[in-house]
Amino acid sequence: MDLPRVIQVARGLQPADLLLANAHVIDLYNHEIVEADVALVEDRIAGIGTTPGAYKAKEKHDLKGAYLAPGLIDGHVHIESAMVSVPEFARAVVPHGTTTVIADPHEMANVLGMSGIRYMLQAAKYNPLSVFVMASSCVPAGPHESAGAEITAYDLETLMQDKWVLGLAEVMNYPGLLAADEEVLAKLRAAGRRPVDGHAPGVHGLDLNAYIAAGVGSDHECTTVEEAREKLQRGMVIMIREATPARNLKDLLPLVTPQNAWRFIFVTDDRSPIHLLEEGHIDAMVRQAIDLGLDPFLALQIGSLNTAEYFGLRDRGAVAPGKLADLIVFDDILSPRPRLVYRLGRLVAKDGDLLPYERPERLPALRGSVNVPRATLHFRIPARGRRIRVIDVIPNQIVTAAGEAEATIAAGEAVADPQKDLLKMAVIERHTGSGRVGLGFVRGFGLKLGALASTVAHDAHNIIVVGTSDDAMRAAVELVLEMQGGLVAVAGREEARLPLPIAGLMSDEPVPVVAAQQRALLRIARRMGCPLDDPFMTLSFLALSVIPVLKLTDRGLLDVTRSELVPLFID
């Protein structure tokens, strides 16, 4: 930055590079609208001119009274969940006004370790989107699942040297923290004074005190006002999440008041490509919050300034002198839909489309990540009793319930029973070829025939499959192996595929192509009888060993609350 020139432009002594004239500037500090011209120099805002003619410029964009606000910031997102590369993720979110994201690449880290994180950092370069990273703290997420790699405290210390790494990502291993596990504590120490994000569903009381006292500053897993209020009272920043599989904004918004609004952040966590293209990103959360009665200034503040300040990004989050010129232009303050998006002083998106830019350099190839001996693809469950534990799906949430059912027995084996919505489920270790398979039952998918399978299974990302018969499950997994990663739906002779060649997590196709492939999968899933909005996103979280209550990993059925493996059969 040419600081002397910035000063001269700010004083009106030299022409700005660009003048955004006749704007209704959204002042998030005073919650006012200021009629002004905004002078930009290089990538910065030099000044706000409330007197006509105060600034001259080489180029002028007349906003004709439109609103000008800071670019939106996603405080916690897993880019991999959109199943597209970083440039394609930018293509999806920048036209919606998102100019900065705080990403946790722990999906890639769980598959490929440090090389996966470095891949994501490299892929984030040269895009019209600022991608900061929180260093993945829990790889693997817990001791009861088999990831493809491990990230140690030493690895985190190395990552913290990168200027794009802001702090420590969600500390999911809260049992380890509460037990003062030395490796967990070493990771907290590696973060130093940087932000530490939390992940503590249902943690409360004295355990919550300990969790926060250890240095954890935020949480995005609140699902009720009561849970969020306790964490807010203890000093946490509450990340309000509106993800594809977990929609919490409507439930948590009543807690937000003018007095405490500065302690909230909007995050998307995990959004599918269809969700991004059809509903939007942080802008959709801002609009939804306003529709639910939140003051527009507060909604925009939670979607930008609050996030910038929590993560120490003092150079963005407001329309003010010295801030980066990351800006959005819209016409209706009660329903902000970005029409123009500026990043670092340049127009990067217009009327919902990303403008052309020089794409990133070719990224290095990644090693194969699907290693499963076909001989291990059997899903027989010998009957060892009559009653079984069942994972009960809760629609639009990533938590599950722990149910029970009378097993359907055929030829001495427990089998799927579509008539009772009792489907068989398997998690197959895919990283090392160990042949390890966890088996169980799930209720809530509603499939009448066929099977669904995927290499996206949080957080270890082993192959996960649910089906109405062993044969259907095997056919679905065979297709996944053939693609070397991806999503499949198989219903007899009908099938749909979404290949994910990048670590079994991301496509190398454009985001509209991926969204079209996802729609084809969902159409077949509907015809198979599934009532869920996004059965693949729901499926992907049934293996997450740190979200209550009952989950399945390659090592078996897991009671998350007790943090121990439990037998499938009860008697």
Domains, the chain, in order of start with CATH, read 70-317 (3.20.20.140), 374-565 (no CATH)
| Residue 212 CA, distance from chain mean position | 23
Residue 175 has pLDDT above 90, yes or no: no
430-482 tens-digit pLDDT: 999 999 999 999 999 999 999 999 999 999 999 999 999 999 999 999 999 99
pLDDT range class, residue 1, cuts 50, 70, 90: confident
E strand intervals along 379-517: 387-393, 400-406, 408-410, 413-415, 422-428, 437-443, 451-454, 463-467, 486-491, 494-499
What pLDDT digit, counting tens, does each position of 109-141 carry?
999 999 999 999 999 998 999 999 999 999 998
Tell me the per-residue pLDDT of 374-386, one tens digit each, with 9 for 90 and over: 888 889 999 999 9
C-beta atoms surrounding 56 within 10 Å: 15
Residue 506's pLDDT is what? Answer: 97
Read off the pLDDT of residues 485-494 as tens digits, 9 standing for 90 and up.
999 999 988 9
**Average pLDDT in the 151-173 region?**
95
- What residues contact 396, with CB distance under 8 A and at least 6 apart? 245, 246, 247, 533
Residue where the block lists tokens 């496509």: 507
Provide, rounded to the nearest whole percent, the portion of the chain with pLDDT above 90.
Answer: 90
Strands 264-267 vs 237-241: parallel, antiparallel or unpaired:
parallel
Lowest-pLDDT range of 38-42, 291-295, 364-368: 364-368
Residue 143: pLDDT band with limits 50, 70, 90: confident
d(CA 16, CA 44): 10
What is the per-residue pLDDT across 221-233, written as a single tens digit (0 to 9) for each?
Answer: 999 999 999 999 9
Distance CA 69, CA 296 (A): 11
Do the Cβ atoms of 146 and 462 come closer than 8 Å? Answer: yes
The neighbour count for residue 60, using CB atoms within 10 Å, is 15
Cβ neighbors of 177 (< 8 A, separation 6 or more) are 171, 184, 185, 188, 210, 211, 214, 216
pLDDT the model gives residue 271: 94
Q: What are phi and psi of 141, to 5 degrees?
A: -65, -30
Q: How confident is the model at residue 358 (pLDDT cuts 50, 70, 90)?
A: confident
For residue 157, pLDDT over 90 is answered with yes
**Mean of all residue pLDDT scores within the chain:** 95
pLDDT recorded at residue 212: 98
Q: What b-and-e string marks burial along 141-151, b requiring 16 or more CB atoms within 10 Å of the CB?
A: bbebbbbbbeb
Q: What is the pLDDT of residue 396?
A: 77
pLDDT of residue 142: 82
Answer for the pair 471, 490: CB distance below 8 angstroms, yes or no: no
How many whole angstroms from its chain centre is CA 111?
Answer: 16
In whole angstroms, how far apart are CA 98 and each of 26, 94, 300? 16, 5, 12
Rounded distance, CA 131 to CA 105, Å?
11
Residue 140, preceding peptide bond in cis (omega within 30° of 0): yes
Of 325 and 548, the structure prediction assigns the larger pLDDT to 325
Residue 180: Cβ-neighbour burial (10 angstroms; 0-12, 13-18, 19+): exposed
Distance CA(244)–CA(82), nearest Å, equals 10
Q: Assess whether pLDDT exceeds 70 at residue 360.
A: no
| Cβ atoms of residues 489 and 525 within 8 Å | yes
Q: How far apart are CA 294 and CA 253, in angstroms?
A: 8
Place of tokens 């088996």: 439
Q: Pull the structure tokens for residue 249.
A: 């904004």
| CA–CA gap between residue 185 and residue 172 (Å, rounded) | 13
Residue 282 has pLDDT above 90, yes or no: yes
Asked if the model's pLDDT at residue 409 lies above 90, the reply is yes
Local structure of residue 484 (DSSP, 8 states): T
**CA pair distance 307, 265, nearest whole angstrom:** 6
**Residue among 561, 549, 569, 562 nearest 393 (CA):** 549
Q: Which single residue is written with the structure tokens 């534990």?
A: 389
How many angstroms separate the CA atoms of 251 and 533, rounded? Answer: 19
Name beta bridge partners: 117. none
Q: Check: CB of residue 39 under 8 Å from CB of residue 57.
A: yes
Cβ proximity of 89 and 78 under 8 Å: no
- What pairs with residue 165 in β-bridges? 133
Q: Which of 338, 259, 336, 246 is nearest to 299 (CA)?
A: 336
The 8-class DSSP code of residue 506 comes to: B
